[in-house]
Structure 1
């Protein structure tokens, strides 16, 4: 008689004999080898021994222990290394019982470039590879754009690209509406423009009062000298500066640089609100809704959020929190190591800093209430959808497919995804239709290629359907023919248990008269005032928007294409140089070898490559 495998407390206790007191990371796995939880420890043996106890655990931890069928361990040199490794594994594996930050988008910055004698003022995202001064982060692109709009009125810095700057022969519209000093045509010299750049950097560094005082002094001098037009221009710049200062919202006097992070927890759902304070100015806020790991408390949520949030972002010198952490010194050490300087973590109790935290907490509380209300409405709509189409239950994942083309040209397919939390935009997909599927009018062929590629890959990557990438419902833009074709495609792939509904425009193609088609059933319609009908219309319209946007992007890219794109070694810079020198790709194809060699940036070898490409015969 075989002994049943150990699980739960007995299994964990059995692992203790092979563990020592080293710091490291442990993983708890279920019987299907899915990672349930990733944790870090200063002392692996001591930490794991806590799980071996039969009592004293929360319901969440008790449930996790009962599902544990195996464990994995990895030792590190220090506890800080263990913390960083833990968060990397959490983001990679997404364990069910860990707190996981689900929004990992980069934040925009304002960049004053320094690679050009006349630096440009512009928005920047991503790695800081370009030489210049970076200011931020800002909470959103909208916050950056509003600030840039006002800064251009105040400091008159250019926002054009270097090639446009080099090609100007007269001032552009930005100069006419007093948003640029027109250095491209010599309206200001390099020294005068550098002074404007210096003032902009002073303002973005928090020295706005000094900049405003200097502008006021210049305005008074111009007025005294009866240069009233210049005085009026300076007055307008001061007004713009006042506007950008007021647009920053809360401007703390005693906090020069900090991130204010507050969490609010309600019925297992959490909202983390982050306010960015830089140069004594508030540069906006962003809310996050981390997955709470089936019952984590505020300290655990904040600790996991901070380590994941700053994984690819530079921490500020001060992080203000609404709740104390379980390991504040460890997290501060990890953030300091990442920033290359000291990072302080504090939970203020009084004064201006406490007011900042209270403001963030209030926003977190209100944001979570709005989200929970929207989620309740969404759940009612999903239940209504299930009732309308006789589904087994409210769908957790709806995929909507649509395609776009103009008489078969530039065919593109689009897939959008929706669920209990609304549109899941990170799961949207575009499909460049290949082969004969994009023939004029062949919508069936386009749909066939799109769905075949989607589900062949899904079957290959997740044949056992363990992930949440499998849909419960497919919405197809079309009638009985499209639904029948999709059903045939799915049957060929061996997938016959996913519900599908065709959404066809009804009489006169009016919204509200849609007909719905299902396999083996007569067409049906919903009442014009049915909220489920409006919900389906929103899903269909979003699919149209997504597919049409992909189509426009593909068409625009094709319009700008030339034969030069196919030449090995000819990138954007060389293509621009050749077109600027000869005027067109056709002229390049007719150019002699010496003429090609005369172009800046085109070496003898590259000239031969270009010449041979057009003269293969």
Structure 2
């Protein structure tokens, strides 16, 4: 990618028609119709919006034609005190750069638009001495050590994760949760101000700790009130992680067995509860399996055509772009390219994970790009190079 254009500082310090007129003149004078990304900046230089286009000049000029207070483009422009832009090698490169800038800056308008237009959530595995599983709204949730999603059916996802937690004994709460006064199906899993010093400390600690409704109902191991066996709890957390990684269906099988046992013992109410949990956990299992199947298909080289018919190669491994280079044209460039390909695709993934937590959004960008553009899918190649004939 080319270097970013110089930052445009325009006064006066508030958005007025005269201010926007100066911005318009600068865009007309400096921006070309190439693929690229742009950043709208607030009065202190904070990035408030990031966008991209394959025809950057036309896209930026469209902001100045926007009318009405409810028009998103007009609303963003009213808060823009400066504009930055940079060009990309290809349209795909512009999309990728836009995503990475949004993840870097988390601009106000980008975040609000995603929340308004596409409610979504992720399943997060949390770390620490008492790991847990819960639903989070952001792909960069600081408590997550592993993340899966996003899922669009957020309400059903919450029910499925609650069912998974209840069937394994894992907590789906945070240590900061407090009493909310709502039913167990609607409220938090933990109904007290947790005391971390009581975790797995035995009966003496439990006698001094506040209670946990979930533990009393038998749907949580109760580690935050000092209950349960830490070794057994860690094994359950490992099973849930393997389940979400797509390596096992053990929670499904255990629920099936428990439901049949309850039915055989004529405990039909218990069997009905287990049946409902089983349906939710099976739904989650199917979504997880679908996710990992898609991941496996997104490993290839993508040979895209950019400006002046220049060919650029994107090395994609398990749905994330690991490198972007111009297609080799000489023997020396070919040798360097072969070394890069070997580093990216051979051996274990250097990230140590199927999909790094911070790259989930990139995975869905790549998947969406090729799903919507069948002609671009034809420009993909097997990941490893075929040796040239002697």
Higher relative contact order (CA 8 A, sep 6+): 2
